[in-house]
Amino acid sequence: MTFDIPSDVYARIASIPDLGTRIEMFLRHEAELEIIRETRYGTEARKIAARAFQNAQRVQLKPEDTQASVETLRAQHQSVTEQL
């Protein structure tokens, strides 16, 4: 299994001395949790959760979009309160 690590993340994790051990422990834990999930939740529930997660990732805002949304909300709030 291989995966890409974004350069900004790699720069921050490169100096962690036991990173390989931590990743291995994390993956073992996740494998155990997946077995629990499979036995606890039915196939249809897992499909629904997977679709919801994919939808959330698709619509997730970038930091600059979030800031623009905040500014739009402030402007709309100001406009409404001025009319009161």
User: pLDDT in tens for each of the 84 residues of the chain?
Assistant: 888 999 999 999 989 999 999 999 999 999 999 898 888 888 888 888 889 988 888 777 676 777 788 888 899 888 888 887
Same domain flag for 77 and 47: yes
Same domain flag for 47 and 83: yes
Picking from 63, 64, 1, the residue whose alpha carbon sits closest to that of residue 27 is: 1
Same domain flag for 35 and 49: no
Same domain flag for 47 and 84: yes
Question: Which range marks the domain in which residue 57 is found?
Answer: 43-84
Same domain flag for 18 and 48: no
Give CA–CA dist 9/19, Å, rounded: 13
Same domain flag for 34 and 56: no
Same domain flag for 56 and 69: yes
| Domains in the chain, number | 2
